[in-house]
Structure 1
Amino acid sequence: MSLLLSPEAATARIRWLAEPSSAAWLEQALAHPMAVLIDHAHCERKAAGAAVQLMFRYLCEPGLGEVLSPLAREELEHFERVLALIKARGETLQPLKAPPYGASLAALVRRGEPQRMLDSFLVSGLIEARSHERMALLASHSPDAELRRLYGDLLASEARHFGVYWLLCEARWPRPLIMERLQELAQAEAAILRTLHPEPRMHS
């Protein structure tokens, strides 16, 4: 099967992303819907954990807990919804070997402060932006009506989540500095995805 993305789908309409997802990724994801669904559950769990980790790392940072705590709760609600669908289909949440995506992005986070905080926000935002873009593709192209509905329902939340990380950056750094670093990280994120992981994943 060969998939051709429409001009709209082939364009990264999210300003965080340097490049759109490939047709090869979409073809792989559509061919293995349950593997992607199970991985999606893991992604929601990890996103909640990442938000909580930032809250504890920057415990006294003004305004951080007020926005990241609701975000973490919403990610866990998404996890529960995806988990329920997995179970309804007679499957269980299985451990999956992670693709290099997350670890490769984490390795780009600088260690000194305040650069570490900025990079952490931007990397989290990039992951949310990519999730939003790929869920939009699945919501448009999946032959499974239930999966189309699931991914479509989660889109607005994902867009809001990467918006949260953008606002956290804007409240703390000048926009030119944010944009310069975002462009660097976005190019690196796109480069990671140019090599399709052999196992289907949300971020393969």
Structure 2
Amino acid sequence: MLEKYADLLAPIYEFLGTSTPDSWIEEAKKPENLQRLLVDHMHCELKAAQSAAFLIRKYAVDDASAKTLLGWVKPYEDFVYRKIGDGQFGASKNELIGSLTAKPEYAYNQDILDKMVRLIKEELHHFEQVLEIIQARDLRVQSLNASRYAAGMIKHVRTFEPAALIDKLIIGAFIEARSCERFAKLAPFLEADLGRFYVSLLRSEARHYQDYIELAEQVAQATDPTRFDVTARIAEFKDIENALISAPDDDFKFHSGAPVTAALAL
């Protein structure tokens, strides 16, 4: 099932450096953990869209566009966090296309806008797909506490610009690449239809991590590439990310570390 994706996955494995621990796969493939896995995956898709929207609002668009963008993910946030709505989102994720204006200060702002808009659309579509799977299996949609994974990287973000932006883009790349690696590693152990679904996500997730790295390089080149070495910073975050997914973790999530206890069913 994964053979045709070998060329796509090879650079992801090299970028990440460390593979998902086998103990995580053993926990993830247990039928009693399917609900936790799917619900957290759904949350991850929303968080990915929110993170991309944050980058657009903070760095790439004017104030009017930033206010407009807030409404893009609101129906999804209402459903997940406020229990508002029935999980039917219609065309809400397509309504803002072409209505956002990039700030003129930097040429890369338009590319941030274009790439992040595409990413938001795809992540919200994936959110809806995972939700459909959850509902079709009569599983419960519940709130979950955030895992340590993203926060464990974000605390290393530098506090001055454009270094902070570069770091956030690199973190986005690692999150997307790790998702892709886990989809590929887990898919063979799942029921056939669910395994096919995870394999279907590989191509878009692989492109997302590449988009983030390309943007980080553009920001560095547009400011001071001698001062902001993206390659060196990627290596630093690789060590941080690898430690997070390899270290013992008692909270089983889609991006958690090596499980130390059996995950509790929701």
TM-score (structure 1 length as normaliser):
0.89
Gaps of 5+ in 1: 1-7
Name the CA distance, whole Å, in 2 between partners of 1:134 and 1:146: 17
Q: CA deviation at 1:95?
A: 0.8
Q: Match of 1:43?
A: 44
RMSD of aligned residue pairs (Cα, Å): 1.9
Q: Match of 2:209?
A: 162
Q: Give yes or no for the alignment of 1:202 onto 2:254.
A: yes
Match runs of 1:109-148 below 5 Å: 109-142=157-190, 144-148=191-195
Q: CA deviation at 1:190?
A: 0.7
Name the CA distance, whole Å, in 1 between partners of 2:170 and 2:12: 17
Q: Match of 2:219?
A: 172
* Bigger Rg, which one: 2
Q: CA deviation at 1:99?
A: 1.8
Deviations 1:131-187 (A, max 9, x none): 000000111222x11210110111111101101101112223249911100000010
Q: Match of 1:181?
A: 233
Single out whichever of 76-85 and 93-102 deviates more from structure 2.
Answer: 93-102
Deviations 1:44-101 (A, max 9, x none): 0000000000000102223211111111111000000000110110013211122211
Go from structure 1 to structure 2 and tell me whether the alpha carbon gap of 1:12 and 1:96 turns closer, same or farther (over 3 Å shift): farther
Q: Secondary structure at the match of 2:125?
A: helix
Q: Secondary structure at the match of 2:145?
A: coil
Q: Match of 1:69?
A: 117
Q: Match of 2:95?
A: none
Name the CA distance, whole Å, in 2 between partners of 1:114 and 1:12: 26
Q: Give yes or no for the alignment of 1:81 onto 2:129.
A: yes
Amino acid corresponding to residue 200 of structure 1 in structure 2: F
TM-score (structure 2 length as normaliser):
0.69
Name the CA distance, whole Å, in 2 between partners of 1:122 and 1:134: 18
Q: Any runs of at least 4 consecutive aligned residues in structure 1 with deviations exceeding 4 A, and if so which? A: none
Q: CA deviation at 1:12?
A: 8.3
Single out whichever of 40-49 and 191-200 deviates more from structure 2.
Answer: 191-200
Gaps of 5+ in 2: 1-5, 62-102, 104-108, 257-266
Q: CA deviation at 1:14?
A: 2.5
1:151 to 171, 179, 198: 198
Matched pairs, number: 194
Name the CA distance, whole Å, in 1 between partners of 2:218 and 2:12: 24
Q: Match of 2:14?
A: 15
Q: Match of 1:24?
A: 23
2:156 to 79, 92, 108: 108
Q: Work out the percentage of aligned pairs sharing the same amino acid.
A: 36
Name the CA distance, whole Å, in 2 between partners of 1:78 and 1:195: 28
